[in-house]
Structure 1
Amino acid sequence: MTGRTTGGASDADRLARVALSRLGEPGDPRFAVHTAQMGASAFHDALLHERDPGSGVVTDVATRLASMEPERDLELAARMGIRFVVPGDPEWPRQVDDLSAAGEVQRRGGPPLGLWARGPLRLDRLLGSVAVVGSRSATTYGSDVAATIGAGVAQAGFPVVSGAAFGIDQAAHRGALAVDGPTVAVLACGVDRAYPAAHRSLLEHLAGHGLVVSELPPGSAPTRLRFLARNRLIAALTRGTVVVEAAVRSGALSTANWAGRLNRAVMGVPGPVTSAPSQGVHELLRLGAGTLVTSAEDVLEMVGVSGAHLVEEPRGPERQRDRLSLRHQQVLDAVPVARAAHVDSISRTAGLPISDTGNALIRLREVGLVVADRDGWRLAALAHR
Structure 2
Amino acid sequence: MSEVGQEERAARAALTRIAEPGDEAVGRWLRQTTPVHLVQSLLGEWDLPSGVTKEKYKGLRLRATRTDPDRAAADLVTVAALGGRFICPGDDEWPQQLNDLGDGKPIGLWVRGSANLRMWALRSVAVVGARACTEYGAHLAATLSSGLADRGWTVVSGAAYGVDGAAHRGALAAKGASVAVLASGVDYAYPRGHTELIHRLAEQGLVVAELPPGDHPTRSRFIMRNRVIAALTRGTVVVEAELRSGSLVTARRATELGRFTMGMPGPVTSGLSAGVHQLLRGGAVVVTEAAEVIELVGSIGDLAPAQRGPTLTRDLLDPVASRVLEAVPARGGADSRRLARDSGTAEEVAQGKLFELQSLGFVQRCGAVWELARCPAGVAGPRSGGA
- TM-score scaled by length of structure 1: 0.90
In the alignment, structure 1 residue 224 sits paired with structure 2 residue 223: no
In the TM superposition, residue 340 of structure 1 has moved relative to its aligned partner by 5.3
2:243 aligned counterpart, secondary structure: coil
In the TM superposition, residue 356 of structure 1 has moved relative to its aligned partner by 3.2
Corresponding residue of 1:243: 238
What is the rounded CA distance, in whole Å, between the counterparts of 2:333 and 2:254 in structure 1? 64
Contact 2:180-2:208 at 8 Å conserved across structures: yes
Q: Residues 158-197 of structure 1, C-alpha deviation per residue, up to 9 Å, x if partnerless?
A: 1100001011001111111111111111000011011010
Question: Which residue identity does 1:75 align to in structure 2?
Answer: V
Question: Which residue identity does 2:88 align to in structure 1?
Answer: V
What is the rounded CA distance, in whole Å, between the counterparts of 1:250 and 1:287 in structure 2? 16
Task: Go from structure 1 to structure 2 and tell me whether the alpha carbon gap of 1:132 and 1:336 turns closer, same or farther (over 3 Å shift).
Answer: same
After TM superposition, list the pairs within 5 Å mapping 1:170-319 onto structure 2. 170-288=165-283, 290-307=284-301, 309-319=302-312
Contact 1:370-1:383 at 8 Å conserved across structures: no
Corresponding residue of 2:48: 52
Aligned residues: 370
Q: Which runs of 5+ in 2 are unaligned?
A: 381-387
2:184 aligned counterpart, secondary structure: coil
After TM superposition, list the pairs within 5 Å mapping 1:1-385 onto structure 2. 7-48=2-43, 49-53=45-49, 54-56=51-53, 57-59=56-58, 60-61=61-62, 63-66=65-68, 69-100=71-102, 110-125=104-119, 126-288=121-283, 290-307=284-301, 309-336=302-329, 339=332, 341-347=334-340, 349-350=342-343, 352-372=345-365, 374=367, 376-380=369-373, 381-382=376-377, 384-385=379-380
Q: Residues 312-359 of structure 1, C-alpha deviation per residue, up to 9 Å, x if partnerless?
A: 332222222223333322211233567554334544554555333212
Task: Go from structure 1 to structure 2 and tell me whether the alpha carbon gap of 1:361 and 1:47 turns closer, same or farther (over 3 Å shift).
Answer: same
What is the rounded CA distance, in whole Å, between the counterparts of 2:337 and 2:122 in structure 1? 70
In the TM superposition, residue 39 of structure 1 has moved relative to its aligned partner by 2.1
Q: Residues 258-278 of structure 1, C-alpha deviation per residue, up to 9 Å, x if partnerless?
A: 111111111111111111111
What is the rounded CA distance, in whole Å, between the counterparts of 2:95 and 2:40 in structure 1? 26
Larger displacement relative to structure 2 (350-359 or 151-160): 350-359
2:268 aligned counterpart, secondary structure: coil
Larger displacement relative to structure 2 (322-331 or 132-141): 322-331
Task: Go from structure 1 to structure 2 and tell me whether the alpha carbon gap of 1:41 and 1:383 turns closer, same or farther (over 3 Å shift).
Answer: closer
Task: Go from structure 1 to structure 2 and tell me whether the alpha carbon gap of 1:286 and 1:51 turns closer, same or farther (over 3 Å shift).
Answer: same
Q: Residues 196-249 of structure 1, C-alpha deviation per residue, up to 9 Å, x if partnerless?
A: 101111011111110100000000001001101100011111111101111111
Contact 1:246-1:278 at 8 Å conserved across structures: yes
In the TM superposition, residue 66 of structure 1 has moved relative to its aligned partner by 4.4
Corresponding residue of 2:385: none
What is the rounded CA distance, in whole Å, between the counterparts of 2:65 and 2:344 in structure 1? 96
Task: Go from structure 1 to structure 2 and tell me whether the alpha carbon gap of 1:46 and 1:174 turns closer, same or farther (over 3 Å shift).
Answer: same
In the TM superposition, residue 373 of structure 1 has moved relative to its aligned partner by 5.1
Task: Go from structure 1 to structure 2 and tell me whether the alpha carbon gap of 1:92 and 1:383 turns closer, same or farther (over 3 Å shift).
Answer: closer
- TM-score scaled by length of structure 2: 0.90
Q: Which runs of 5+ in 1 are unaligned?
A: 1-5, 101-108
What is the rounded CA distance, in whole Å, between the counterparts of 2:332 and 2:189 in structure 1? 74
Contact 1:50-1:58 at 8 Å conserved across structures: no
Corresponding residue of 1:3: none
What is the rounded CA distance, in whole Å, between the counterparts of 2:124 and 2:350 in structure 1? 60
What is the rounded CA distance, in whole Å, between the counterparts of 1:294 and 1:36 in structure 2? 43
What is the rounded CA distance, in whole Å, between the counterparts of 1:359 and 1:215 in structure 2? 76
2:57 aligned counterpart, secondary structure: coil
Task: Go from structure 1 to structure 2 and tell me whether the alpha carbon gap of 1:383 and 1:371 turns closer, same or farther (over 3 Å shift).
Answer: farther
Contact 1:19-1:68 at 8 Å conserved across structures: no
What is the rounded CA distance, in whole Å, between the counterparts of 1:58 and 1:341 in structure 2? 92
